[in-house]
Amino acid sequence: MNDAQTPLISIKNLQKYFPIHGGVLYRRIGNVHAVDGVSFDVRKGETIGLVGESGCGKSTLGKALLHLHPPTGGTVEFEGVDLDTIPTQRLRELRKEMQMIFQDPMESLNPRMSVGSILEEPFIIHKGEHAFDTAEKRKTEILRILHEVGLPASAYDKYPHEFSGGQRQRIGIARAIALKPKLVVCDEPVSALDVSVQSQVLNLMVRLQKEMELTYIFIAHNLSVVKYIADRICVMYLGRVVEDAESQAMYKKPMHPYTQALISAIPEPDPALKKVKQVLEGDVPSPIKPPPGCHFHPRCPYTRDRCKTDDPSLRAIDGNEKHRVACHFAEEILAQSAGANA
């Protein structure tokens, strides 16, 4: 199997539960099922979009696969190495290959450190694993990285509060790419930015991906943003992936009722274009006690008795392994949707 076919990272039945304690003795009385059995592969150079409503487990999944939140169950393999089975020191060494861009750069950048110190930190932590073993060499490399992300050399001595939101996010990106990683998890990196700045940051990320052969897991709730940058999209609902497909196929022919509702809610720039919006009834169920069967059945307009008892697994539709859906009646629902939009 060649490099293009071998997964860079393979996630199998990943689970992350957070314990709930209560009572007089503060015993464990339950769990928050933040990530509940997620499986997918990410290939080198690919961009996977993770989308869904707030609280569906996207950010927790991103942190769990990097072991920033140690998983409760399942496995994460990075280049064939099971991250659960390696010593802490070996995991620390692999950190330089797996980096993260956080949603709010003001929260993730130390306000007491200059930009130069922030960007020097990865080289100091991983000292001996790169060629920048002196302060002078590190400064030269940091100035090069600042130029790569579109910031002037004068940024080196400044502090995070002296920059705009878009500039701070560029600093976050610079920190993430400093050690030339293979995988970058992007946790809603443009959601806190103005729309005009969003496009600039996205274009920067696309350029860096081509130049550095980066692989992205791009977490977002804005499907328009994901459509622009992602090769493949995984739609999450209540800790699970309910649809996994190539980007164009997902937007052209969504098969899960939840995906259909999300895409129907995307605003259209053409006021003359008529679009039928699918409004979901009710609220997202609690991840503390998810519904039995299909987690989406309390809000699904196509619910049947089987949905309330049988948990659907991700399955290929019409033998197409590139488009998988966790729905018992996906083919029938797709036919009904096509007829309604005809």
Ranges of each domain in the chain? 259-342
Angle (CA) 2 323 335, round 5°: 160
**End-to-end Cα distance, the chain:** 43
Q: pLDDT per position in the chain (342 positions), as tens?
A: 345 568 999 999 999 999 999 988 899 999 999 999 999 999 999 999 999 988 899 999 999 999 999 999 999 999 999 999 999 889 988 989 999 999 888 888 999 999 999 999 999 988 877 778 899 999 999 999 999 999 999 999 999 999 999 999 999 999 999 999 999 999 999 988 888 899 999 999 999 999 999 999 999 988 888 988 999 999 999 999 999 999 999 999 999 999 999 998 887 776 666 667 777 888 889 999 999 999 999 999 999 999 999 999 999 988 888 999 999 999 888 777 665 555
Strands, sheet with 215-220, edge to edge from the N-terminal-most edge strand: 98-101, 183-187, 215-220, 47-51, 232-237, 240-246, 320-325, 315-317
Count CA atoms closer than 13 A to 277's CA, side-chain side.
Answer: 7
pLDDT digit string, tens, across residues 157-170: 999 999 999 999 99
pLDDT digit string, tens, across residues 36-50: 999 999 999 999 999
Q: Looking at residue 1, what is its pLDDT?
A: 36
Residue 165 DSSP SS3:
helix
pLDDT digit string, tens, across residues 292-331: 999 999 999 999 999 999 999 999 988 888 999 999 999 8
Q: Which amino acid type is present at position 285?
A: P
Q: Cβ–Cβ contacts within 10 Å for residue 110, how many? A: 11
Pairing relationship of beta strands 232-237 and 47-51 according to DSSP bridges: parallel
DSSP string covering 8-35? EEEEEEEEEEEEEEETTTTEEEEEEEEE
Q: Hey, what are 44's tokens?
A: 């080198």
Q: DSSP code of 134?
A: S
Q: Residue 172 class from Cβ within 10 Å (0-12 exposed, 13-18 middle, 19+ buried)?
A: buried
- Mean pLDDT, the chain, whole residue set: 91
